[in-house]
Amino acid sequence: MKTTSPLAYASYGLLGLPLAMAALPVYVQIPAYYSGQLGLALGLTGWVLFLARMVDTFQDPLLGRWIDRINGNITAWFWSGAAILALAFFGLWLPPVSSGDTMYLALWLAAMLIAAYTAHSMLNIAYLTWGARIDAGSGSHDQGLLGAAAWREGAGLFGVILASVIPSWIMSRPAATLSGDLASYSIGFALILVLAVFVLLKFAPAWQRNKNTETTPSWQATWTLMKAHQGFRQLLPPYFLNAISVAIPSTLALFFINDRLQAPSYAGAFLASYFIAAAIGLPLWVMAAKKIGVLCAWRWGMVLAIIAFCSAATLGAGDIIAYLIVCIAAGLALGADLALPPVLLAQLIRKDSSPASYFGVWTLLGKLALALSGLALPALAALDYQPGTPAGPALAWVYAGVPCAFKLVAFLLLTRIKTTQAGVSS
C-alpha cells in the first residue's frame, strides 16, 4: 500500500490556518476590542462572552452526532460552515451600531459570537474527525494521526501569528482607516477560508467512511459506549482543566500587556513571539511523542507551561524582556497542548465507533472552558480593575496564577493514566 504523501497531509492541514485565525480574535482580541475600542463595559463584555459560549457549548455533541450520521458526505457541510464563519467574522469586526448604543452593541456581539462559534464548531468537529480517520497507507495508524496533527496545528500556528500581528497593526493606524482596514482583513480571511476548504475537499486524503455498520448507532447507544470507555473517561477531566488553564490567559492577554506591563505597543510582538515559539516547538513535541509516547510528552509540555506562567504572575510595569522570555517558553509548551490531546483521543477511538460524537463531547469541554474563562472579566471588574488604567497584582494572578493551579491539577490527573508506547491504555 502506498504511503500517504506529505502533500496530501499539507492539503488536509491547510484548513487549520483560517480556523485558527477565527479562533484567536474571538478568544483574545474581541474582548479587548469591544471594551477598549468600542466602549462596551468590561463586565457586560464578559457576561456576553460567557452566555454566548454556553449557548455554543452544548450544541457540539449534537453537531458531532449529525456528522456521524452523514458519514462522509461532508462537501455541503464544509461549504455551509465556511459561509457562516466568513460572514460572522466580518460582523464581529464591523458592527453596524455606534459605540454609544450599549445594549444593541452587546446584542450584536452575542449574535455574531453565536454564529461564529456555531460555524467554527461545524468545521472543526468535522475537520478533527477527518484527521482521526486518516490512514497512513503503508505506515502505522499512529503515524497518520501524528502526521495529520502536525500539519493541522502547524498551519494553525501560522494562522494565529497572522491573526495576532495584523489586527494589532490595524489598531495602531489612524482611526480614520480602521473600518476600511478591518473590512480588507475580513475579506482576506474569507478568501483564505474558501481556498482551504477547496484544497481539503479536492486534494486531502479521502475521508475514511465507517464501513463496519450500515447505520449509525443511536445516540443512546453511542453515549453508553462512551461512558463505558475507561480511557475516554480518564482523559476528559485533565483535558478540561488544562483547557481552562489555556483559556484564561488567552482571554486576558491583551489586558495584561496593556495595563499590567503597560506595554501596548509591544502587544503584536508578544503574541507573535508566543505563537512563533509554538510553531517551532510543534515538530519537537511530535518527535518527542514518537519517542516517549504522546501522553508523556504532553506532561512535559505542562511542566514547561507551569514554570512559564508562575514567572509571569510576578511581573509588573516595564518587565518587557522578562515577559518576552515567558511568551517564548509558554509558546513552546503550547505546541504540546495543540498537537497531542487530539491524537490521544484519536488513539482511543475504534474505527467502527462514532468518532465525531467523541469529538463533539471533546469540543464541548473545550468550549465550556472558554465560557468559564469569560467570567474572569466580571471577576476583575469586581476587583476594581478597569481597562486602560494601570493594573494591580490581581490582574497578574488571575492571568497567570489561576491557570497554573488548573494546569497543575490536570498534570496530576494525567499521572494516574497508564500509558504504553503506542498511547493510552483503556
Residue 344: partners with Cβ closer than 8 Å, 6 or more residues away: 235, 294, 295, 298, 423, 424
In the numeric block, which cell numbers belong to residue 123?
Answer: 468545521
> Over its length of 426 residues, how does the chain's per-residue pLDDT go in tens digits?
455 677 888 889 899 999 989 986 677 788 878 887 888 887 888 888 888 878 777 777 778 778 877 766 788 999 999 999 999 999 999 998 765 678 889 999 999 999 998 999 899 888 888 887 675 554 555 566 666 777 887 788 788 788 878 887 888 788 788 889 999 999 999 999 999 999 999 988 877 665 554 455 666 666 676 777 777 888 889 999 999 999 899 888 888 998 899 888 888 789 888 888 988 888 888 889 888 888 899 999 999 999 998 999 888 888 999 999 999 999 999 989 888 888 888 777 755 566 767 777 787 788 788 778 878 888 888 888 877 777 778 888 899 989 999 999 999 998 887 644 334 443
Burial of 248 (0-12, 13-18, 19+ CB in 10 A): buried
Closest CA to 352 of 215, 205, 204: 215
The predicted pLDDT at position 422 comes to 38
Report CA-CA distances (Å) from 7 to 3, 12, 19, 148.
Answer: 11, 9, 20, 11
Give backbone dihedrals phi and psi of 71, rounded to 5 degrees, phi first: 50, 55
What whole-number distance in Å separates Cα of residue 62 and Cα of residue 67? Answer: 9
CA 93, CA 182: separation in Å to the nearest integer?
7
Sign of the dihedral through C-alpha 316, 321, 326, 331? positive
CB 137: neighbour CB atoms within 10 A? 15
Domain 6-205+215-414: give its CATH code.
1.20.1250.20
For CA atoms 376, 26, 354, 143, the dihedral sign is: negative
- Domain residue limits, the chain: 6-205+215-414
Distance CA 286, CA 298 (A): 10
Statement: the pTM of the whole predicted model exceeds 0.75: no
pLDDT at 217 (0 to 100): 60
